[in-house]
Amino acid sequence: MHHITDPIDRRLLDEFQRDFPVVDRPFQPLADALGLDEAGVLDRLARMRATGRITRVGATIAPGAVSASTLAAVAAPDERLEEVAALIDAEPGVNHNYQREDDWNLWFVATGPGRAHVDETLARIEERTGLHVLDLRLVRPFNVDLGFRMSGTSHDVPRPRKVDRTVMQDGDRSLLQALSSGLPLVADPYAALARSLERNADDVMVRIKALHEAGIVSRLGVIVRHRALGWSANAMVVWDMPAEQVSVAGPALAAHPGVTLCYERRPIEDVWPYRLYSMIHARSRREARQVLAGAAALPEMFGAQHKVLFSIRCFKQTGALIKHDEAAA
């Protein structure tokens, strides 16, 4: 990866995007693996966070596991693009907001503790912008792991795990919100996190392990900013196909090399017919289109029409809003 020339930084980003240790001093195992001391690992992560190469060391939460979310879009006039993007970004529940190449040019994810919160967010955006909002609700995920290898070699992406919501206990929402915002970059981050929540550190680690085992925490580790690391040609590809074809096409598309996200969403009649969504994160448009050509040639995709929406600009990228009155950092 040409943006990461230091081999130790490359390994730090490559090897610890998931399965981050849940122990008293979790950065020490990283240091041992990399031939560094603990302070050296913390310094490198702090530097990469400050320069925008990573967003945090923390968790991603399985879609719909403990909160609600939806993908949404508006068609902002060119002369109002900045204004509308700022109004969308001002909503605490919006955790991603991208400009894409399409008439529907601002695409964002609205999150919240429940569906009512998401609906209120979308209604406010409609009222404040005067624009119709497409509400493209998730039906099912096929691949939502979104990890990136700095080495450029392929890797097996874990399949979506079954989520067991029955393990949730009092206090877990606050814990998940803190994990989604990111761990403190200190030698004992779980103890620091526990103090901020006025809880016991051992209990916090027990709960994190339980939530990860249950699939509620889908990934715990280093969360990178892919655009800052060279994946600047990012395309959302949407596919128009019958509902019955999605069950076969979704898993095949998710497994195709170069496809980094894949999920089914509810179409909107006479406005947006697309059911199957995939993301391609590539280093160039040529590379992205090569991945797309291979995906479109899959026998499971036969007959499916598609549209490509390349990302132009990222306005916002944070963790999800899980608990009322607590915006992700």
Locate 18 and state its tokens.
């998931």
pLDDT in tens, 179-219: 999 999 999 999 999 999 999 999 999 999 999 999 999 89
* Closest among 284, 281, 294, 285 to 253, alpha carbons compared: 294
Q: How far is residue 231 from each of residues 147, 154, 303, measured CA to CA in Å?
A: 12, 15, 29
Q: 210-242 pLDDT, tens per residue?
A: 999 999 998 999 988 766 666 678 999 999 999
Predicted confidence at residue 154, as pLDDT, reads 45
- C-alpha R_g of the chain: 20
The string of pLDDT tens digits covering residues 72-108 is 999 999 999 999 999 999 999 998 999 999 999 999 9
Q: Return the structure tokens found at 13.
A: 């980003």
Per-residue pLDDT for 30 more than 80? Answer: yes
Which amino acid is it at 219?
A: R
The answer to whether the beta carbons of residues 229 and 3 sit under 8 Å apart is yes
Q: Would you call 30 helix, strand, or coil by DSSP?
A: helix
Q: How far apart are CA 276 and CA 300, in angstroms?
A: 12
Closest CA to 189 of 51, 302, 41: 41
Set out the domains of the chain in order of their start, with CATH numbers.
1-152+160-323 (3.30.70.3460)
- Sheet containing strand 138-143, strands side by side: 134-136, 68-74, 106-112, 94-100, 305-317, 233-240, 276-282, 259-265, 138-143
Whether 3 has a pLDDT exceeding 80, the answer reads no
Give the pair of three-digit tokens for residue 231.
Answer: 């994946």
- Give the pLDDT of residue 262: 94
Give the phi and the psi of residue 189 in degrees, each rounded to 5: -65, -30
Q: What type of residue sits at position 85?
A: A
* 270-320 pLDDT tens trace: 999 999 999 998 889 999 999 999 999 999 999 999 999 999 999 998 877
Q: What is the mean pLDDT of residues 37-58?
A: 94
Predicted structure pTM score:
0.80
Mean pLDDT score across all residues of the chain: 90
pLDDT at residue 329 greater than cutoff 50: no
Contact 240, 159 (CB under 8 A): no
